[in-house]
Amino acid sequence: MIVYIAGPITGHLRYRENFKKAEDTLTAMGHIVSNPSYLPSGLEHYMQICKAMIDQADAVFFLKGWECSKGSNEELDYAGGFKKKLFYEEDF
């Protein structure tokens, strides 16, 4: 399954570590992982890129703290509209 990782980025200094840990776990489970934390800094239209990544995914994995992230909430709404499977780190 192709899994997109969603979670808080803005204001979180160690977000890349959190995303990488999730990526490693999901990869070890046999999934193909789409990790937006690899996108370069300084882009203007991150959400458009993230939505394209979600389009290619079968599921979205939400990291802890996603509820406080404007971007993650937008990703949830977007993914839900396409009936993507949704998983939450706190459930693992």
The answer to whether residue 73 sits within a structural domain is no
Which percentage of the chain shows pLDDT scores above 70? 100
Strands (E), 2-49: 2-6, 32-34
Instruction: Determine whether 21 is exposed, middle or buried from the number of CB atoms within 10 Å of its CB (0-12, 13-18, 19+).
Output: middle
The answer to whether residue 77 sits within a structural domain is no
Confidence of residue 68 (pLDDT cuts 50, 70, 90): very high
Predicted confidence (pLDDT) per residue in 43-58, tens digit:
999 999 999 999 999 9
The answer to whether residue 91 sits within a structural domain is yes
Question: How many domains in the chain?
Answer: 1
26, 3 Cβ separation under 8 angstroms: yes
Q: Which domain holds residue 60?
A: 17-37+49-65+82-92
pLDDT of 92 strictly over 90: no
Mean pLDDT, residues 62-78: 97
